[in-house]
């Protein structure tokens, strides 16, 4: 995988723009998922995920090939998402959290109309719950939890993505976990 990615990056750096599409294909779901989980709606998620790839393309020369490409890409995506959250902060309150799940609600409504098996409905509800609760977390806990449990990354990788000491990442994950636990118990 790493060898393939390195080869593609080499091609892109030589000027083969088309080769970049292979990188997008490889990472689009992961990057989109980070953006979606951070922002809570598909419109902004797509915006940020695309922007992340565009930045990666234009700044490819500053990428250190000896490091993991995904770490670098996730860092760009996470920073963009956090910036976006900061910018819209004035109208972002805990009360608004339901707005963040509208897409999932929409899908689950469609799903219900089509009378999905009960198991699937439960799954949708769980998805909704998870997204809603993640949106309630302060962004710094949110990013740590998403990277750890949705992208399945190691503490070390997360610390590189967020440019934080591993100990700080741990604390954020602990606090995020505790916050989610309390909400699960109260729900």
Partner 1 sequence: MACKNEYSILIHKYLDEEMTLLEKKKLENHIIKCKDCEGHMRELRKTVAIVQSASHIEAPINFTESVMNKLPKETNTNRWKTRLRKHPILLTAAVFFLVFVMSISSIWNDSTKEIVVKGDGHFIVDEERRVVIIPEGETISGDIIVRNGNIEIEGEVLGDITIINGEIIKSDISNGENYLASAGHVAGEIHEINQVFDWLWYRVKAFFSDVINFIN
Nearer to partner 1, 18 or 66 (CB): 18
Residues 178, 144: contact at Cβ < 8 Å? Answer: no
- The least distance separating partner 1 from the CB of residue 141, rounded to whole angstroms, comes to 12
Q: Which residues of the shown chain bind partner 1 in the complex (CB under 8 A)?
A: 14-18, 20-21, 24-25, 28-29, 31-33, 36-37, 42, 46, 49-50, 53-54, 57-58, 123, 126-127, 129-131, 134, 145, 149-150, 155, 170, 173-174, 177-178, 180-181, 184-185
Nearer to partner 1, 84 or 148 (CB): 148
* Three-state DSSP string of 57-109: HHCHHHCCCCCCHHHHHHHHHHHHHHHHHHHCHHHCCHHHHHHHHHHHHHHHH
- The least distance separating partner 1 from the CB of residue 103, rounded to whole angstroms, comes to 10
- The least distance separating partner 1 from the CB of residue 184, rounded to whole angstroms, comes to 5
Q: Count CB neighbours of 86 within 10 A.
A: 10
Token code pair at residue 178? 């505790």
Nearer to partner 1, 17 or 66 (CB): 17
Nearer to partner 1, 89 or 154 (CB): 154
Burial of 45 (0-12, 13-18, 19+ CB in 10 A): buried
- The least distance separating partner 1 from the CB of residue 90, rounded to whole angstroms, comes to 27
- The least distance separating partner 1 from the CB of residue 32, rounded to whole angstroms, comes to 4
Question: Coil, strand or helix: which one is 116?
Answer: coil
Q: Which are the contacts of 141, defined by CB distance < 8 A and separation ≥ 6?
A: 172, 173, 175, 176, 179
Nearer to partner 1, 8 or 134 (CB): 134
């Amino acid at each position: 995988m790493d060898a393939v990615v390195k080869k593609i990056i080499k091609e892109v750096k030589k000027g083969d723009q088309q080769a970049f599409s292979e990188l997008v294909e490889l990472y689009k779901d992961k990057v989109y998922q980070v953006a979606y989980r951070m922002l809570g709606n598909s419109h902004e998620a797509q915006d940020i995920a695309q922007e992340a790839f565009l930045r990666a393309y234009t700044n490819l020369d500053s990428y250190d090939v000896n490091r993991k490409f995904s770490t670098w890409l996730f860092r760009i995506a996470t920073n963009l998402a956090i910036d976006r959250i900061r910018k819209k902060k004035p109208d972002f309150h805990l009360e608004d959290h339901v707005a963040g799940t509208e897409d999932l609600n929409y899908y689950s409504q469609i799903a219900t109309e089509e009378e999905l098996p009960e198991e699937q409905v439960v799954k949708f509800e769980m998805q909704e719950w998870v997204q809603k609760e993640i949106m309630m977390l302060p962004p710094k806990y949110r990013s740590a939890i998403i990277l750890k449990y949705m992208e399945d990354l190691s503490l070390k990788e997360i610390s590189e993505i967020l440019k934080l000491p591993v100990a700080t990442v741990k604390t954020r994950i602990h606090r995020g976990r505790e916050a989610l636990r309390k909400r699960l118990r109260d729900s």
